[in-house]
Every structure is written in structure tokens, then in C-alpha cells.
Amino acid sequence: MDKEEVKKLVYALVEQSTGKKKLKSSDIVKKIAADHDGVEKDDVKAALRDLVDAGTLIYTYFGGSFIEIPPKE
């Protein structure tokens, strides 16, 4: 699976959990690596890093670090 597909999976997972449960980066890595054969944890970490660097996803801190979609302005 290429990097763009992994990015889409990560974004979709965060989008689904918005308003329900805050996800830590380790939760995202474990869930995607477990649910999709052929996706390595390092691939998910790299995709997550790219999404955060691009501003598509952000880290928030509320008693722990969580990944979220940035609020609309």
C-alpha cells in the first residue's frame, strides 16, 4: 500500500472518531496496522507525521497528547 493510501486511512480513522473518542498516535498506528495487511507501523507513523506537518491533523494536549482534525475557523 502506498503512502497516500495510508494517509487517507489515517485521516478517515481520525475523522470517524471526532466527537466520540480522542485518539493517541499509538492508537492510530496499532489500529491501522492491525486492520490492514501489508501496512507496517513505520508506514503509519510516517503518514501521520506527514499529515501533522502539512497541518491536515494537529496534536492537542488534554491530560495526554491526542491527534485531531484542526477546528474550522
In this prediction the pTM is 0.90
- How confident is residue 1, by pLDDT bands cut at 50, 70 and 90? confident
Least confident of 4-8, 26-30, 34-38, 56-60: 34-38
Average pLDDT estimate for 26-32: 94
CATH for 3-68? 1.10.10.10
Rounded CA gap, 11 and 31, in Å? 13
Average pLDDT estimate for 35-61: 93
Rounded CA gap, 13 and 6, in Å? 11
